[in-house]
Structure 1
Amino acid sequence: MKLLFKRVRIELMMGSKSLLVLFSVLILLIFFGCTPKIPSGDPDNAGLFLPGDFEALAVVDSLKGRARHLTVNTNGDIYVKLRFPDSIGGNAALRDTDNDGKADIIETFDDYMDKSSYGTEMKIYNGYLYFSSVTRIFRQKLTGDLVPESEMELILTDTQPPRQHDTKPLAFDKQGNMYTVFGAPSDNCQVDDRSPFSPGMYPCPILEDRAGIWKFDADKKGQFQKDGHKFATGLRSVVGLAWNDVDDNLYAVLHGRDYLHNTWPDRYSVWEGAVLPSEVFLKLKEGSDAGWPYHYYDQMQGKYMLSPEYGGDGKEQGDVDHLEEPVVAFPGHFAPNDIIFYKGDQFPERYRNGAFIAFHGSTSSAPYPQAGYFVGFVPMMGGEPSGPWEVFADGFAGIDTIANTSDAHYRPMGLAEGPDGSLYVSDSQKGKIWRIMYKGDREKFGNAQLAAMEKRKANAPNIKTPDEFNDILIPKGDAKAYWDRKLSKDAKLFNTYCAICHQRNGQGNDRFPPLNGSEWVTGDTERLIKVILNGLEGEIMVKGRSYNNVMPRMDMLKDDEISTILTYIRQNFGNEASAISAEEVEKIRKENEESKGDDAK
């Protein structure tokens, strides 16, 4: 190559007629002889199960700060949004200098940590790197350096404090508009959020300025919600958002509401609570309504149903004619956290323009296996599904049956396409990043290569819809009899009211804090009792990590039931704190009620 460059310089000086030929040869060598080859996958595909002739490697095994969404620049540099608060910088930049697929350089930048910097999005648009916390959207001009040296511009500020379902995923259309989410700070707009038998507020006041998607100018700095335009409504929680260039439409994957059984045990069984409602994949147009909080989608019945907070019982639909029908209705609690439409040509043709979806995995499927924890694929043509949804990558959890969320080794979070058509997947547990590549004959890819993944869809405990009786995670037989016979009173109360969030092993998950070693559990008993009686909302720190969800009021429990539960959690999961008596609960309940009476005056 060096000799060829020298020859070109000589020919330029001499004005040779062969210059055009030599220059053409040079260009061909540059593009076809010097383009980095796709690296080999790891021997075990970095722990993943993939369709035939696909390979995977671990770009990085872990990132300090773990990972949320990610994006890949045209030169292969990877940018990752880190989680708060255990990151040393708001973002991470990764570079592979020797083309082996592994990150050789990892740098963190934009250390803007504060109470609102829990990471959400990372995307490149029009030469800018856009990234977000739950309350703010920033951008930086990409300068060619791994870490951009340009000014960090604040594009949008959400003035409300961080609450549950606050995320800021991003999508950009062809006209320079930016779309983002203002999530609903509620499970289903109940008077007492997540509390058993609490009715829904009607009309739901949250719909006025939350539970929707707003459209903004992607280039305008210093915007607030009032500067945008409400594009779609009825969306409780959206973490994955994407614009599809094929049909020029916005698409979203939704998290369905929680706790159908726990809040309405007279209307929904334990099994129905574990598999419903659907996580839907929607095409959204101007004015679209996805139904929340008045309706949810039932994937088994294939239709919208009236929510129990508004009189539903799993059979009544109500007024649903105006609601946006899903593109695909996935099983409940899969937790879809990212979506991309594949544009490359490295993968076989059937994947082109289809949708990859990262399912982060459930936290509330007990006593059945936790569900999700894989990357799915929806084949599409012209913006419509061209076949049933598929399992594309599985094995992230590292175990076959996930009883508690904390059992999973990894949880797929973000997706990005590289310049060569490779698919990148990030993990929120340890910050691992995979690169998935295709190494076979694109023309020969077909059913034979997909067969093993079809079997996983039908049989894997984290993917299939569990059988109501045979897949419950207790010994087979009469589940109720086993529950009554084997569980002590304290364990039974804990599993009934607490385990769905904090998990049966007390280790919690990304959404709900752990009980083992928690200063909230083993510390001040009065504070702990008040959490049960009054509930808790807003950001708290537990064992050095931030959590921002809702603990419902449990004041309907008797004093002895509360004392039993609290003593159980203070003396299990490795905790060795003192017991709490029913008399202590009774005393604080009376003081609590007197305080509320004084406030009312």
Structure 2
Amino acid sequence: MFTCAVALFVFMGFGWMAADTKLPAADADNGGLFLPKGFGAFVVADSLKGQARHIAVNSNGDIYVKARDHYANDGYGNVALRDTNGDGRADVITPFGKYDGQTYGTAMRVHDGYLYFSSELMVYRMKLKHGQLVPDSKLDTIIIDNPPYHEHQTKPIAFDNKGHIFVGWGAGSNAGQVNNRQPGSPGIGSPGSADNGNPWLKDHGGIWMFDANKTNQHQADGVKYATGLRSIVALDWDAKSKSLYTINHGRDDFRLLWPNLYTPWESALQPAEEFFKVQQGLDGGWPYYYYDPIKNKKLLNPEFGGDKIKEGDGAKLTQPLIGFPAHFAPNDLLFYKGKQFPDHYKNGAFVAFHGATDRAPYPQAGYIIVFVPFKDGRPSGPWEVFADGFARVDPIVNVSNAVYRPMGLAEGPDGSLYVSDTEKGRIWRIIYTGDKKTFGPAQLAAMETRKQTASNIKTPDEIKDNLFKDMPATSVVYSTYCVACHQNDGKGDGKRFPPLVQSEWVNYNKTRLIKVILNGLKGPVKVKGLSYNEVMPAHGSFLSDKQVAEVLTYIKSNFNNIPDIVTPADVSAVRKMADKQIHQHED
């Protein structure tokens, strides 16, 4: 690890490191990636302490990383990387930038001589100086959001050619329910009703436009540019069409919340991740509608009376350019402007799919980079698999099994494509060394085969690809209500949802554990030394004492926990205790 002082010495001794026109050699295994013929890849940096969210590459090849975990990164929110010997690998790695942030903070972009980055609540920038790796300029606060922290609060950013910055404002809700992620809970408001709309849409669930150069702006200082977008992480401006684009994360938990309406297979395939061309005034339809990628139409969400058939006024809403497969988790978007890659990729869009957590009992899906060819501001062909192999396992039964998960995309000054990973803090650089004149369908054939056959990409067969079909009977309650978050192996997803494996919350206080199931839990909480801040919904209103006892006995008797039995009488006693406390409070 080099310090800032060493980085300054490198600059003074060797001068500014301009981008080399000669490409470094790819790793023998392409850094573990599968790519179209003629492409190669190598690992630029590995095991960054703070892991990685979005990344940016400056005009001299310096790399800037938004850290996923400030605490693990010595309290810093960013990382700067430089290659001083021209081998393509970063040998100067310097953390910098101390500001409040948790694991959702996302943005890292270079724009107009500044480095812009975000936490969950703020968008910051620092002035970059010619040849200087770590900026020492003052930290400007550009956008200020109001606490508290909630899920989907990512703050991705993009810039147009008129001095504006666009900022995504995710909604801290799955489907706009009265009680978030609670089975059967109705949605708030009604479609098309301005007077009785969902409260999340007032100041969340959309994109706001601000002055890119003005400091200390609050949401009220901006313009509400688009609405009806649940969770926005992928956001980019296409200079060719002079338009803003985003890919919206579709809602989750059809099976968990509406088990009498959706089968596990239907829940795995619904709803689509929607790729939008964002014109001012766009309404994506959330939380009232979702996009069915099979029927290619907007349908009414069950929280608002939907039954998989009712369309309501969905046809009047902005329709997506593409409905990507469900739960792929689109986390970055980049329009390619470089000249290194074949002409096929010019002005097209690369998308980083972070990977699903909500496809059980089928293989988790996504964990890939895809490419969408573009012409005249719209897709000109079907989406293609560009890079696969990040997860390193097949099938991906639980999200925690995936070794790497692609997150951020950046284009280097020579047209290389950089990809960051959230799990191990790895960064790849993808290069093209083949013959651009002969690039065509033959070079893409193997990737098209992967699209149709790989378990993390293809549409699963309802019977053959059910990973639980040959397993012995387990907890019905767990497989219906718990597996989407805590996963089949009980390890959670590593950041959002905590593990049940050898958990102190499972093993040492039976009463507290029962209360969590009955009443839910709102973070932040610590589990096995790590902090989690998602909402655990209350299950007491729809699970019987027998069902609660069944699932807790299953959890305590598995996942390397201390075996124990929870009885319906145990659950009933805790319920009565809670009811008594409520009545005493009312009195």
* TM bin (shorter chain): over 0.9
1:191 counterpart (163, 172, 178): 178
1:119 counterpart (80, 84, 105): 105
CA gap 1:34/1:295 in 2 versus in 1, 3 angstroms: closer
Is residue 263 from structure 1 mapped to residue 257 from structure 2 by the alignment? yes
2:168 counterpart (175, 181, 185): 181
1:588 counterpart (574, 577, 587): 574
AA matched with 2:486: H
CA gap 1:462/1:117 in 2 versus in 1, 3 angstroms: closer
1:52-73: CA deviations, max 9, x gaps? 0100000012100111110000
CA gap 1:244/1:189 in 2 versus in 1, 3 angstroms: same
Q: Considering only aligned residues, what root-mean-square deviation do their CA atoms show, in Å?
A: 1.7
Contact 2:68–2:102 under 8 Å retained in 1: no
Alpha-carbon distance in structure 2 between the residues aligned to 1:281 and 1:597 = 50
1:446-488: CA deviations, max 9, x gaps? 01100000000000000001011111113xxxx5xx67xx314
Alpha-carbon distance in structure 2 between the residues aligned to 1:333 and 1:539 = 25
Give, in angstroms, the shift of residue 210 of structure 1: 1.0
Alpha-carbon distance in structure 1 between the residues aligned to 2:528 and 2:486 = 14
Contact 2:504–2:527 under 8 Å retained in 1: yes
CA gap 1:124/1:598 in 2 versus in 1, 3 angstroms: farther
Alpha-carbon distance in structure 2 between the residues aligned to 1:317 and 1:265 = 21
Is residue 518 from structure 1 mapped to residue 503 from structure 2 by the alignment? yes
TM-score (normalizing by structure 1): 0.90
Matched position secondary structure for 1:251: strand
Paired residue for 2:53? 68
CA gap 1:447/1:103 in 2 versus in 1, 3 angstroms: same
AA matched with 1:101: G
Alpha-carbon distance in structure 2 between the residues aligned to 1:290 and 1:304 = 10
Matched position secondary structure for 2:237: strand
Alpha-carbon distance in structure 1 between the residues aligned to 2:486 and 2:510 = 19
Counterpart mapping for 1:436-455 below 5 A: 436-455=430-449
Give, in angstroms, the shift of residue 346 of structure 1: 0.2
AA matched with 1:546: S
Relative to structure 2, which stretch is displaced further, 172-181 or 44-53?
172-181
Paired residue for 2:336? 342
1:506 counterpart (467, 490, 502): 490
Matched position secondary structure for 1:86: helix
Give, in angstroms, the shift of residue 552 of structure 1: 1.5
Give, in angstroms, the shift of residue 234 of structure 1: 0.4
Contact 1:116–1:135 under 8 Å retained in 2: no
AA matched with 1:414: G
Contact 1:162–1:539 under 8 Å retained in 2: no
Structure 1: unaligned runs, 5 residues or longer: 1-32
Give, in angstroms, the shift of residue 373 of structure 1: 0.3
AA matched with 2:45: V
Is residue 569 from structure 1 mapped to residue 569 from structure 2 by the alignment? no
CA gap 1:473/1:364 in 2 versus in 1, 3 angstroms: same
Give, in angstroms, the shift of residue 578 of structure 1: 4.4
AA matched with 1:464: K
CA gap 1:189/1:325 in 2 versus in 1, 3 angstroms: same
Paired residue for 1:83? 68
Paired residue for 1:171? 158
Matched position secondary structure for 1:498: helix
Contact 1:60–1:103 under 8 Å retained in 2: yes
1:322 counterpart (316, 328, 339): 316
Alpha-carbon distance in structure 2 between the residues aligned to 1:404 and 1:367 = 10
CA gap 1:257/1:34 in 2 versus in 1, 3 angstroms: closer
Matched position secondary structure for 1:506: coil
Alpha-carbon distance in structure 1 between the residues aligned to 2:19 and 2:151 = 49
Is residue 552 from structure 1 mapped to residue 537 from structure 2 by the alignment? yes
1:153 counterpart (132, 140, 163): 140
Paired residue for 2:280? 286
TM-score (normalizing by structure 2): 0.92
AA matched with 2:569: E
Alpha-carbon distance in structure 2 between the residues aligned to 1:164 and 1:593 = 30
Counterpart mapping for 1:7-46 below 5 A: 35-46=20-31
Q: How many correspondences in the alignment?
A: 558
Give, in angstroms, the shift of residue 116 of structure 1: 4.6
CA gap 1:197/1:118 in 2 versus in 1, 3 angstroms: closer
Counterpart mapping for 1:144-543 below 5 A: 144-202=131-189, 203-474=197-468, 479=469, 486-488=472-474, 491-509=475-493, 510-543=495-528
Alpha-carbon distance in structure 1 between the residues aligned to 2:272 and 2:317 = 15
Is residue 141 from structure 1 mapped to residue 127 from structure 2 by the alignment? yes
Alpha-carbon distance in structure 2 between the residues aligned to 1:117 and 1:330 = 25
Alpha-carbon distance in structure 2 between the residues aligned to 1:598 and 1:271 = 46
Contact 1:179–1:215 under 8 Å retained in 2: yes
CA gap 1:383/1:525 in 2 versus in 1, 3 angstroms: same
Give, in angstroms, the shift of residue 598 of structure 1: 4.4
Contact 1:268–1:313 under 8 Å retained in 2: no
Matched position secondary structure for 2:47: coil
Paired residue for 2:192? none
AA matched with 1:573: F
Matched position secondary structure for 2:314: coil
Alpha-carbon distance in structure 1 between the residues aligned to 2:206 and 2:400 = 31
Matched position secondary structure for 2:73: coil
Give, in angstroms, the shift of residue 86 of structure 1: 2.5
1:390-431: CA deviations, max 9, x gaps? 000000011221010011110000000000000000000000
Paired residue for 1:98? 85
Alpha-carbon distance in structure 2 between the residues aligned to 1:292 and 1:118 = 21
Alpha-carbon distance in structure 1 between the residues aligned to 2:148 and 2:528 = 22
Contact 2:105–2:153 under 8 Å retained in 1: no
Matched position secondary structure for 2:291: strand
Paired residue for 1:18? none
AA matched with 2:521: L
Paired residue for 2:4? none
Structure 2: unaligned runs, 5 residues or longer: 1-17, 190-196
